[in-house]
Amino acid sequence: MLKIKDKRFFSKGKRGIIYKGFIGNKKIAIKIKNPASKAINRIENETRWLKILNKKGIGPKFIAFEKGKLIYGFVEGDFILDWIEKNDSKNIRKVLREVLVQCRAMDKLKVNKEEMHNPTKHIVVGKKVVLLDFERCNETKKPHNVTQFCQFIMSKKLSLILNKKKIKINNKKLIKLLKEYKQDYTEKKFKEILKFLKV
């Protein structure tokens, strides 16, 4: 059993409750099932996928799974919308690219993270760009991580902020590129999306 000190409540979601604490000097997050949730084996599912996705540099660093508790490295930073509000277009484009590259890696693994169309609490930007919450992650023949994140880029919520930062996107053109990408998921089509978004 890992020795965790200074454990305290951090946040609560539909399916999980998160505490933060320390193992030695390392700040960690501890995730347990929300007793109010009817979802089954979500913490176990997230544990499985974190181990796989960590090998591709995706997600917070998995530490352990003990007695129904998922323990991983605590991620410092701002949620993506708050971060975008505070940054300039050059840095914003870099972060959008990094998220899309991680989405592409998941598409190539034939994995759906889910909720990438509204990932306001699922992407933290600090020293690195880290995706969170893999409880609903699943294998699929038709992954949609890249397409869902592009839906988020086109959403009113984000496009209003991007416009203020002088980042304007032609939604019709982007939708066309996404449809082409979904036909065969090639690297060439993905690069066309990056080029169009100027990221």
The CATH number for 11's domain is: 3.30.200.20
Quote the pLDDT of residue 140.
96
Asked if 117 and 156 sit in the same domain, the reply is yes
Asked if 183 and 109 sit in the same domain, the reply is yes
For residues 122 and 26, is the Cβ–Cβ distance under 8 A?
Answer: no
Asked whether the predicted pLDDT for residue 24 surpasses 90, the reply is: yes
Asked if 88 and 49 sit in the same domain, the reply is no
Q: Of the candidates 55, 73, 91, which is a domain's last residue?
A: 73
Asked if 58 and 101 sit in the same domain, the reply is no
Q: Number of folded domains in the chain?
A: 2
Q: What percent of the chain shows pLDDT beyond 90?
A: 89
Q: pLDDT-derived band of residue 78, with 50, 70 and 90 as boundaries?
A: very high
For the sheet containing 5-12, what is the strand order? 5-12, 16-23, 26-33, 69-73, 62-66
3-state class (DSSP) for residue 71: strand
Asked whether the predicted pLDDT for residue 13 surpasses 90, the reply is: no
- Give me Rg for the CA atoms of the chain: 18
Asked if 105 and 171 sit in the same domain, the reply is yes
Quote the pLDDT of residue 84.
96
For residues 49 and 106, is the Cβ–Cβ distance under 8 A?
Answer: no
Q: Of the candidates 73, 96, 122, which is a domain's last residue?
A: 73
Tens digit of each residue's pLDDT (9 = 90 or more) over 145-193: 999 999 999 999 899 999 999 999 999 999 999 999 999 999 999 999 9
Asked whether the predicted pLDDT for residue 36 surpasses 90, the reply is: no
Q: pLDDT-derived band of residue 55, with 50, 70 and 90 as boundaries?
A: very high
Q: What amino acid is encoded at 126 in this protein?
A: G
Tens digit of each residue's pLDDT (9 = 90 or more) over 109-135: 999 999 999 999 999 999 999 999 999
Q: Of the candidates 73, 97, 120, which is a domain's last residue?
A: 73
Computed over every residue of the chain, the mean pLDDT equals 95
Asked if 33 and 120 sit in the same domain, the reply is no
Asked if 38 and 85 sit in the same domain, the reply is no
**What residues make up the domain containing 29?**
5-73
Q: Which residues pair with 71 in a beta bridge?
A: 30, 64
Asked if 56 and 131 sit in the same domain, the reply is no
CB neighbour list of residue 21: distance below 8 Å, 6 or more residues apart: 4, 5, 6, 7, 8, 27, 28, 30
Asked if 13 and 85 sit in the same domain, the reply is no
| Mean pLDDT calculated for residue range 37-59 | 93
Asked if 110 and 137 sit in the same domain, the reply is yes
CATH number at residue 168: 1.10.510
Asked if 99 and 124 sit in the same domain, the reply is yes
Q: Which of 199, 187, 181 is nearest to 129 (CA)?
A: 199
